[in-house]
Structure 1
Amino acid sequence: MRLMVMFDLPTETSKQRKQYRQFRKKLINEGFIMIQYSVYVRVCTTKSAAEFLEKRIKDFLPDEGIIQSLVLTEKQYSDMHFLRGKMIEEVRNSSKRTVIL
């Protein structure tokens, strides 16, 4: 499973910029990696783990903007096509490092 978070946050005021930086930093601290500007993804072991993570994200949402999440299976994520550019091979973005006990 992968949890993808996409967001469009306002950055017109200093308060909005601060909330943007804090939100992005908290996503990274939760284990998300950026796959595109304002699109972050994280590997989850199960659908319930992804739903739990969504609830954690709700605890630190900024006051304004649009934030969306999408749960994808490994098959759906691996079927992503790159029309320009190429995938970044990074261990943190791989389900191979996931250990299920």
Structure 2
Amino acid sequence: MTTLHTQRRKERPEGPTHLSAYRLMWMLVTFDLPVDTKKHRADATRFRQFLLDQGFERSQFSNYLRLVNGQENFDAHVRRIGGNLPERGDVFIFQFTDRQYENIVRFSDQSRRRRRKNPEQIALF
């Protein structure tokens, strides 16, 4: 026998039904990897390629950004990155909301740049 509460819970869709600028998060992966040997350079290249394959975009040579939908998605990417770390070096992963991303100030070539336009939608794979 199912109760009305259990029945209503089953009827509700899993997860949020809309995307919130407070739920959408940006991941910034920044790293300092050794490149003093051929093996270290190959490891660093493999790690950068892994990030690109995971949907990150290069912001600077050692800074990669990706938009994710919620904490669970963020945590899944952190686990994948943790499983693909090079043997040596430092990797930092920052998390901030889409609302916070809107307030980033960017300078390039001594002039202030217009803020980046956030994607209209998230690509689902």
| TM-score where L is the length of structure 1 | 0.86
- 1:23 counterpart = 2:47: yes
Residue type of the alignment partner of 1:38: S
Deviation (angstroms), 1:88: 8.4
- Number of equivalences: 97
* Structure 2 unaligned residues grouped into runs of 5+: 1-24
Q: Which has the higher contact order (CA 8 A, sep 6+)?
A: 1
- Cα distance in 1 for partners of 2:60, 2:101 equals 14
Cα-to-partner distance string for 1:41-79 (whole Å, 9 max, x where unaligned): 001011110111010101110011110001110011111
The two structures, once aligned, show a CA RMSD in angstroms of 2.0
Q: Partner of 1:71 in structure 2? A: 95
Deviation (angstroms), 1:87: 5.9
Q: Partner of 1:11 in structure 2? A: 35
- List structure 1 runs of 4+ shifted beyond 3 angstroms: 85-90
Identity across the alignment (%)? 27
- Cα distance in 2 for partners of 1:48, 1:19 equals 28
Q: Partner of 2:105 in structure 1? A: 81
Q: Rg bigger for which structure?
A: 2
Structure with greater helix percent:
1
- Cα distance in 2 for partners of 1:21, 1:99 equals 25
| TM-score where L is the length of structure 2 | 0.70
* Structure 1 unaligned residues grouped into runs of 5+: none
